[in-house]
Structure 1
Amino acid sequence: MEHPAYSQLRPVTESASVVLCPNPGYGSLEGTNSWVIRAPEDEKSIVIDPGPEDEGHLNVLHSKAQEVGLTLLTHRHHDHADGASRFRQLTGAPVRAFDARYCEAGGAKLRHGEIINLDGVTPQIEVVHTPGHTADSTSFFIWGGEPHNSVLEGIVTGDTIAGRHTTMISETDGDLADYLATLQLLEERGRDIPLLPGHGPEGKDVAAFARKYIERREYRLKQIREIWAERGRDIEVGDLVNQMYDDVDPVLRGAAEQSTRVALRYLADRDK
Structure 2
Amino acid sequence: MEHPAYSQLRPVSPSVGVVLCPNPGYSSLEGTNSWVIRAEGDPRSIVVDPGPEDEGHLNVLNKNASEVAEVLLTHRHADHADSAQRIRQLTGAPVRAFDKRYCVGGAPLEDGEIIKVEGVTPQIEVVHTPGHTSDSVCLFVWSGKPASSTLEGIITGDTIAGRHTTMISETDGDLEAYLRTLKMLKKRGKKVRLLPGHGPDAEDISVFAKKYIERRKMRLQQVKDALEKLGDKATVRSLIDEIYTDVDPVLRHAAEQSTRVTLRYLGVEVPSK
Query: TM-score band, normalised by the shorter chain?
Result: over 0.9
In the TM superposition, 1:230-241 aligns within 5 A as: 230-232=229-231, 234-241=233-240
Distance in 2 (CA, whole Å) between partners of 1:168 and 1:227 is 21
CA distance in structure 2 between the aligned counterparts of 1:234 and 1:183, rounded to whole angstroms: 33
Aligned to 1:192: 191
2:228 paired with 1:224:
no
Instruction: Give the partner amino acid of 2:128.
Output: H
- Give the CA deviation at 1:110: 0.6
**How many angstroms does 1:78 deviate by?**
0.1
User: CA separation in 2, counterparts of 1:61 and 1:54?
Assistant: 11
Q: Percent identity?
A: 68
Secondary structure of the residue that 1:196 maps to in structure 2? strand
Cα RMSD, aligned residues only = 0.8
Cα distance in structure 2, aligned partners of 1:260 and 1:150: 42
Match of 1:147 in 2: 146
- What does 1:1-272 correspond to in 2, within 5 Å? 1-105=1-105, 107-232=106-231, 234-268=233-267
Distance 2:167 2:232 in 1: 23
Which AA in structure 1 matches 2:141? Answer: I
Q: Deviations over 1:130-179 (max 9, x none)?
A: 00000000000000000000000000000000000001000001000010
Offset, 1:249: 1.1
CA separation in 2, counterparts of 1:202 and 1:233? 45
Q: Structure 1, residues 1-42: CA drift from partner, whole Å, max 9, x if none? A: 110000110000010100000000001000000000000110
- Count, aligned residues: 268
* Long gaps (5+) in structure 2: 269-273
Q: Secondary structure at the match of 2:132?
A: coil
Following TM superposition, by how much is the alpha carbon of 1:228 offset from its aligned partner in structure 2, in angstroms? 1.5
The aligned counterpart of 2:271 is none
- State the distance in 2 between where 1:267 and 1:23 align: 35
Distance 2:115 2:84 in 1: 19
Letter of the 2:146 counterpart: P
- Supply the distance in 1 between the matched residues of 2:204 and 2:192 (Cα, whole angstroms): 5
SS of alignment partner, residue 171 of structure 1: coil
Q: TM-score, normalised by structure 1?
A: 0.97
- Normalised by the length of structure 2, the TM-score is 0.97
CA–CA distance in 1 between the matches of 2:153 and 2:233? 45
Aligned-partner residue type, residue 173 of structure 2: G
Q: By how many angstroms is 1:241 displaced?
A: 0.6
CA distance in 2, matches of 1:205, 1:241: 32
SS where residue 52 of structure 1 aligns? coil
In 2, distance between residues paired with 1:189 and 1:74?
A: 18
**Residue type of the alignment partner of 1:136:** D
The ranges of structure 1 where at least 4 consecutive aligned residues each deviate by more than 2 angstroms after the TM superposition are: none
- Tell me how far apart the structure 2 counterparts of residues 220 and 82 of structure 1 sit (CA, whole Å): 32
